């Protein structure tokens, strides 16, 4: 499977403009033989909106998901995008994957990062799940979620081949290490591909790190972005990493009876 990651500078509150940016990336992806296009966290609305997020959030059956589904149906691509989801009085930081002629897959962020997110979003209490994606098993996480090893391990144990991680990583030396060190480590320790798609540029509240990355099950980097808007491509070939799984059988040689209690609430 060939995938594309759109590292984009989202325009705050400009749903139509951001969807057009994703549409342009979809056209380029189709021309390049891509099956999956991944855009960043809250890519449809922009991230640094503060309380405005509560005003522009939409339900799952709203215009945002409808337009993304239409784009998937027309292009044949699977498309991942982030948006603020309204569910009654609650607002969630949500990622959706739409595919042609299939029901959309949704994931709500479990680990909220920083004061802004905690002020406007409700954290999800539902664990991520695995779903079919063009012959691969995939699972969604959002940004800060991947920095908790239990989240990636949960999906790997559920059979995931690919972790799709839309993100909005603020720029800083420490945050850069998430892309440079932590994401490849998550891929290697779980023998999965990781597609980590970041925002870039700046908005009213944040500068973004960029440095989106696609990591292989042995931790190698298949593609990496710089700081500007770009479209990354990589081919995901599970068979090419069969030896890696044999040499590094972490999942099969776990001893949860020794450390399973560490994940329990005290």
Domains of the chain: 2-263 (3.60.110.10)
pLDDT over threshold 90, residue 28 = yes
Residue 13 falls in which region: left (phi positive, over 0), alpha (psi -120 to 50) or beta: left
Angle at 17 between CA 170 and CA 1, to 5 degrees: 70
pLDDT over threshold 70, residue 266 = no
Region 34-49 average pLDDT? 98
Region 158-180 average pLDDT? 96
Give the residue numbers annotated as catalytic, written as ranges.
41, 109, 143
Mean pLDDT of the chain: 96
pLDDT over threshold 90, residue 77 = yes
All residues at 6 or more sequence positions from 110 whose CB lies less than 8 Å from its CB, including other chains: 123, 124, 125, 126, 127, 128, 145, 151
């Amino acid at each position: 499977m060939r995938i594309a990651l759109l590292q984009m500078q989202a325009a705050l509150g400009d749903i139509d403009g951001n969807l057009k940016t994703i549409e342009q990336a979809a056209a380029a992806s189709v021309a390049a033989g891509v099956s999956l296009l991944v855009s960043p966290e809250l890519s449809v609305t922009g991230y640094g909106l503060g309380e405005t997020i509560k005003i522009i959030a939409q339900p799952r059956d709203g215009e945002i998901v409808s337009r993304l589904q239409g784009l998937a149906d027309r292009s044949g691509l699977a498309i991942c995008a982030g948006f603020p989801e309204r569910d009654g009085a609650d607002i969630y930081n949500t990622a959706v994957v739409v595919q042609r002629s299939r029901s959309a897959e949704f994931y709500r962020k479990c680990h909220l990062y920083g004061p802004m997110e905690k002020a406007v979003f409700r954290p999800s209490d539902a664990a991520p799940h695995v779903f079919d994606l063009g012959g691969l098993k995939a699972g969604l996480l959002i940004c800060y979620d991947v920095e908790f090893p239990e989240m990636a391990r949960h999906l790997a144990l559920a059979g995931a081949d690919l972790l799709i991680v839309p993100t909005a990583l603020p720029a800083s030396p420490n945050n850069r290490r998430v892309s440079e060190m932590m994401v490849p480590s998550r891929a290697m320790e779980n023998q999965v591909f990781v597609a980590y798609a970041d925002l870039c540029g700046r908005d009213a509240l944040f500068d973004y790190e960029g440095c989106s990355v696609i990591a292989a099950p042995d931790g190698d980097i298949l593609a990496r972005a710089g700081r500007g808007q770009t479209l990354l491509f990589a081919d995901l070939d599970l068979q090419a990493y069969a030896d890696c799984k044999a040499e590094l059988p972490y999942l099969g040689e776990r001893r949860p009876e020794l450390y399973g209690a560490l994940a329990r609430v005290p």
